[in-house]
Structure 1
């Protein structure tokens, strides 16, 4: 392939690259020629199923494929619901491959997810018990972060009272996590207007009130683009409480380059801040099949190409 042709491919937008793929051109050329298999500049974490057409259905084979492509971490939202033997298998495989474990969700069921704002003891007790189960799962996979979503507004209570209830519940969770070096990362979401935690500044204030190394922010770029925008500036303001980052372009919640976010600049800024944590790939694939998976890898090589 000529240098001119190579440069042309590297300068394609993802949309154009995807269109070329559908039209028969090989987007794989971008992935193959752009440090294929080498570690990325940032530590991006895929999830199970993202590369099932290449890696197959088995957890181990999927992890091996991720590692072969240069990914150094995994995130698995549903880890807590997996059998203990699968958790142990994931932990052993990550260790063998030299990979890190990203977030999993502290999922105690909708009864507490929609109710921490109420301050009711039954929901706080369920949350604390789920935190204790999460500690045991985290040990099996050497996890350092676990996602917590406070849930829905309690419309019958003033917002300040709801906030106080959430803070007190999170203090209880932090007491469970602190001795084990595990941090719950609060995720402000954009899925629907009933969700209590929606903004980075709101999350920042709650973390300051909880005042624990085990209560930090999960800054999901997709959700924050939808809820508040001004990504780099807002990230800077909340930076000392951000422990984990997630990725997804908007609109569509697919890989970088499929929406409006300039991920090349965002990733460059995150790297310049000295971020050594994990950037979870919390999104779907824009295209189906092996071709879509190849396009996704190429998209990350492109967006990660800031140095």
Structure 2
């Protein structure tokens, strides 16, 4: 495989290929999803998660997915997908296929989080990570997922940073060997949750992806976390663009929907759109207001932030 020739534009357009023309060709037209007439789709492909519309769509995730579709959303993400039953996974996959929706990320189980750190280079940690990768491949087949989230875990502070980086790269190379034959991309997520985490910035993640040198190891650029850790969002997105395969959303402070914090999401979304990204934009945030009122306010915020054309 000519890894360096893995085209960024092909990777970024993957979601729209998976969805097919039915999801986007409608543009601003209304369409049926087996229920009431759907709202128009968005310019970008936003993906809500379980619970985000439980007051409007019901407690059952399948019903929520149908409600999401009726509101114009064409993707979902579900961090805990591997913890669901095989029956649930199959049902979610079938529902998404029927509605022409894309499955976004779920988290590789025990993928180096917390004390199970890939930076330490310990075989027992690597074995847990690789087991999670193999499990994730099977889950991805059921829900037609193409992206899985990996967090390498904490710093191993008794080792020099260069050694830790090398350990992480070595482990991820082995994970990529599992994912590549299935066309699945591990997306590495730098986080702001605690300064103990090894992966903190987009440029550090870029360096690691270049070291792994695989189409199955790219960046998950979470706009909320990166606003907290490094700021200068559009410039950092530009610098690391060739390694970005997925975006997540959350305003800061508060980690709620766009328009509730300091980030100018209309500008950020416009930049991402004009760069040609048509993949999933994961809505990994809370609702700023409770109940149905809060869910309607969330949709309104996305309509406003997505109106950049």
TM-score by length of 2: 0.87
> Quick one: distance in 2 between partners of 1:257 and 1:107?
32
Verify the 8 A CA contact 1:114 1:153 in the aligned structure 2.
Answer: no
Q: Unaligned 5+ residue runs, structure 2? A: 1-37
**2:227 paired residue number:** 225
**1:105 paired residue number:** 107
> Quick one: distance in 1 between partners of 2:124 and 2:112?
13
Shift of the alpha carbon at 1:114? 3.2
Indicate the structure (1 or 2) with the bigger Cα radius of gyration. 1
**2:198 paired residue number:** 196
Shift of the alpha carbon at 1:276? 1.2
**2:308 paired residue number:** 306
Verify the 8 A CA contact 1:111 1:123 in the aligned structure 2.
Answer: no
Verify the 8 A CA contact 1:112 1:127 in the aligned structure 2.
Answer: no
Verify the 8 A CA contact 2:113 2:152 in the aligned structure 1.
Answer: no
2:137 counterpart SS class: helix
Shift of the alpha carbon at 1:110? 6.6
What per-residue deviation string (whole Å, max 9, x for no partner) do you get for residues 243-291 of structure 1?
0000000000000000000000000000000001110000000000000
TM-score by length of 1: 0.87
2:107 counterpart SS class: coil
What per-residue deviation string (whole Å, max 9, x for no partner) do you get for residues 117-138 of structure 1?
1101111111111100000000
**1:251 paired residue number:** 253
Runs of 4 or more, structure 1, over 4 Å off, are 109-113
Verify the 8 A CA contact 1:113 1:150 in the aligned structure 2.
Answer: no
Shift of the alpha carbon at 1:58? 1.0
Verify the 8 A CA contact 1:112 1:124 in the aligned structure 2.
Answer: no
Aligned Cα RMSD in Å?
1.3
Verify the 8 A CA contact 2:48 2:283 in the aligned structure 1.
Answer: yes
Verify the 8 A CA contact 2:112 2:150 in the aligned structure 1.
Answer: no
**1:128 paired residue number:** 130
**2:83 paired residue number:** 81
2:219 counterpart SS class: strand
**2:148 paired residue number:** 146
1:1-307 map, 5 Å: 37-108=39-110, 114-307=116-309
> Quick one: distance in 2 between partners of 1:124 and 1:111?
12
